[in-house]
Amino acid sequence: MCGIIGYIGKQKASPILLNGLQRLEYRGYDSAGLAVLEKGQFNALKRTGRVENLRKPVLAADSQARLGISHTRWATHGGVTEANAHPHVSWDGRLALVHNGVIENYKAIKRELEAKGIEFKSETDSEALVNLIAYFYNLELKESGKSHKQALLQALRTALYQVEGTYGIGIMCTDLPEHMIGARKGSPLVIGVGKGENLLASDVTAFAGRTQNVVYLSDGQIAYLSEEDFEITNIDAETVSPHIDTISWDIEDAELGAYPHYMLKEIFEQPMAIENAMRGRFSQDGSTAQFGGLNIDPRELRQIDRILFLGCGTAWHSCLVAEYLIEKYARIPVEVEYASEFRYRNAPLDKNTLVFTVSQSGETIDTLEAQREAKRKGYRVLGITNVVGSTIARENDGGIYQHSGPEIGVASTKAFTAQVHIAAMLALYLGRMRDMSFSEGIQIVNALKKAPGMVAQVLNQTEHIKEIAERFAEKSDYLFLGRQAMFPIALEGALKLKEVSYIHAEGYPAAEMKHGPIALISPECPTVAFAMKSEIFQKSLANVQEIRARKGPVIAITDAGKDFPADLADAVIEIPEAHEVVQPVLASIPVQLLAYYTALARNCDVDKPRNLAKSVTVE
Ligand code: AGP
Q: Give residue 600's domain range.
A: 461-619
Q: How confident is the model at residue 415 (pLDDT cuts 50, 70, 90)?
A: very high
Q: Which of 262-266, 384-388, 418-422, 608-612 has the lowest mean pLDDT?
A: 608-612
Q: Strand 353-359 to strand 306-311: parallel, antiparallel, or no bridges (unpaired)?
A: parallel
Q: Give the CATH number, domain containing residue 172.
A: 3.60.20.10
CA distance 95 to 42: 9
Q: Active site includes 614?
A: yes
Q: Is 410 in the pocket of ligand 1 (CB under 6 A)?
A: yes
Q: Is 497 in the pocket of ligand 1 (CB under 6 A)?
A: no
pLDDT in the model for residue 251: 64
pLDDT digits (tens, 9 = 90+) for 94-113: 999 999 999 999 999 999 99
Q: Is the separation of the CB atoms in 571 and 468 below 8 Å? A: yes
pLDDT at 295 over 80: yes
Percent of the chain surpassing pLDDT 90? 82
* End-of-domain residue from the set 432, 459, 486: 459
Percent of the chain surpassing pLDDT 70? 99
pLDDT at 609 over 90: no
- Calculate the alpha carbon distances from 326 to 17, 30, 367, 371, 431 in Å: 45, 41, 21, 21, 8
Among the listed residues 46, 414, 475, 614, the single catalytic one is: 614
pLDDT in the model for residue 401: 95
Instruction: Choose the most confident range, by mean pLDDT, from 18-32, 316-330, 341-355.
Output: 316-330
pLDDT in the model for residue 473: 97
By most ligand atoms within 8 Å of CB, the mutation choice from 187, 358, 412, 605 for ligand 1 is 412
- Do residues 385 and 492 share a domain? no
> What spacing in Å lies between the alpha carbon of 135 and ligand 1's midpoint?
38
pLDDT digits (tens, 9 = 90+) for 48-78: 998 999 999 999 999 999 999 999 988 888 8
Q: Is 364 in the pocket of ligand 1 (CB under 6 A)?
A: yes
pLDDT digits (tens, 9 = 90+) for 116-136: 999 999 999 999 999 999 999
Query: What string of DSSP letters covers 109-163?
Result: HHHHHHHTT----SS-HHHHHHHHHHHHHHHHHHHH---HHHHHHHHHHHHHHH-
pLDDT in the model for residue 389: 85
pLDDT in the model for residue 167: 94
Q: Is 617 in the pocket of ligand 1 (CB under 6 A)?
A: no
pLDDT at 248 over 80: no
pLDDT at 252 over 70: no
pLDDT in the model for residue 34: 97
CA distance 550 to 518: 9
CA distance 123 to 186: 22
- Do residues 454 and 467 share a domain? no
Q: Active site includes 2?
A: yes
Q: Nearest-CA neighbor of 521 among 557, 480, 582?
A: 480
Host H or E run for residue 506: strand 504-509
**Long-range contacts of 132-136, Cβ-Cβ distance < 8 Å, separation of 24 or more:** 132/159, 132/162, 132/163, 133/90, 133/95, 133/97, 133/159, 133/171, 134/90, 134/91, 134/92, 134/94, 134/95, 135/159
* End-of-domain residue from the set 437, 459, 481: 459
* End-of-domain residue from the set 211, 230, 253: 253
- Do residues 469 and 423 share a domain? no
pLDDT in the model for residue 529: 96
Q: Give the CATH number, domain containing residue 343.
A: 3.40.50.10490
CA distance 333 to 331: 6
pLDDT in the model for residue 607: 87
- Do residues 417 and 563 share a domain? no
| Diameter over CA atoms, the chain | 85
Residue 306: how many other CB atoms lie within 10 Å: 15
- Do residues 447 and 587 share a domain? no
Mean pLDDT for the stretch of residues 380-392: 93
CA dihedral 582, 585, 591, 594 (to 10 degrees): -100
pLDDT in the model for residue 462: 98
348 CB-near residues (< 8 Å, 6+ apart) = none
- Do residues 28 and 114 share a domain? yes
> What spacing in Å lies between the alpha carbon of 358 and ligand 1's midpoint?
10
pLDDT in the model for residue 66: 97
Mean pLDDT for the stretch of residues 572-585: 96
- Do residues 26 and 115 share a domain? yes
pLDDT at 253 over 90: no
- Do residues 610 and 486 share a domain? yes
Q: What is the pTM of this model?
A: 0.85
- Do residues 214 and 271 share a domain? no
pLDDT at 416 over 90: yes
pLDDT at 205 over 90: no
CA dihedral 582, 584, 586, 587 (to 10 degrees): 150
- Do residues 516 and 587 share a domain? yes
- Do residues 398 and 417 share a domain? yes
> What spacing in Å lies between the alpha carbon of 614 and ligand 1's midpoint?
7
Check the CA dihedral 456-458-461-466 and report its sign: negative
Residue 607: how many other CB atoms lie within 10 Å: 23
Instruction: Supply the mean pLDDT for the chain.
Output: 94
- Do residues 443 and 492 share a domain? no
**Count of domains observed in the chain:** 3
The angle that helices 414-433 and 270-278 make with each other, rounded to 10 degrees, is 30
Q: What are phi and psi of 14, to 5 degrees?
A: -55, -50
User: For atom 2 of ligand 1, which residue has the closest CA?
Assistant: 411
pLDDT: which is higher, 186 or 478: 478
Q: What are phi and psi of 215, to 5 degrees?
A: -125, 115
pLDDT in the model for residue 347: 86
Q: Is the separation of the CB atoms in 304 and 335 below 8 Å? A: no
Could you tell me how many residues make up the chain? 619
> What spacing in Å lies between the alpha carbon of 313 and ligand 1's midpoint?
5
